[in-house]
């Protein structure tokens, strides 16, 4: 049963990584993307999410852009902190390569984060674009 829950959650998370998470007015538009275990490499789906966020950010030149990295709590804490920072850096660099000015991007990382169903949910970066 637990395996079924993990599979269902993973499929839902993958489906959600292609589109931004719409939020209430005054809240940032969020673009979550997910990574393979111990990886900071963007796959094709992740690249599409970053490109979509870049298009939106570029169409709102006064918007604040935040990139926040996360890692699963497996393994050494320091390694997870480095991995979360590296993921955020890779995504930030890719936003810049897609036309978002580097001085508009605030980068942060949470390091290792607990998860509800699967470590997959912790292996992520969230891009937030806050328009005023």
Residue 9 Cα to chain centre, angstroms = 17
pLDDT in tens, 76-124: 999 999 999 999 999 999 999 999 999 999 999 888 787 766 777 889 9
Helical axes 44-59 vs 77-97, angle rounded to 10°: 60
Task: Report the distance separating Cα 28 and Cα 38, nearest Å.
Answer: 28
Tokens representing residue 96 in the block:
């810049």
Instruction: Encode pLDDT of 37-80 as tens digits.
Output: 999 999 999 999 999 999 999 999 999 999 999 999 989 999 99
pTM of the model: 0.79
- Classified by CATH at the fold level, domain 2-130 comes out as 60s Ribosomal Protein L30; Chain: A; (3.30.1330)
Rg from Cα positions in the chain: 14
Q: At 80, which helix (H) or strand (E)? A: helix 77-97
Q: Cα(131)–Cα(64) distance, rounded to whole angstroms?
A: 7
């Amino acid at each position: 049963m637990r395996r079924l829950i993990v599979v269902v959650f993973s499929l839902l998370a993958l489906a959600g990584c292609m589109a931004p998470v719409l939020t209430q007015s005054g809240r940032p538009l969020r673009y979550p993307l997910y990574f393979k275990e111990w990886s900071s490499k963007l796959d094709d789906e992740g690249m599409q999410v970053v490109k979509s966020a870049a298009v939106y950010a570029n169409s709102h030149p006064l918007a604040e852009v935040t990139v926040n990295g996360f890692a699963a709590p497996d393994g050494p804490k320091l390694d997870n902190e480095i991995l979360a920072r590296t993921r955020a850096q890779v995504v930030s660099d890719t936003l810049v390569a897609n036309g978002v000015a580097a001085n508009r991007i605030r980068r942060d990382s949470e390091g290792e984060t607990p998860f509800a169903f699967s470590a997959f949910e912790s292996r992520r970066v969230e891009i937030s674009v806050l328009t005023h």
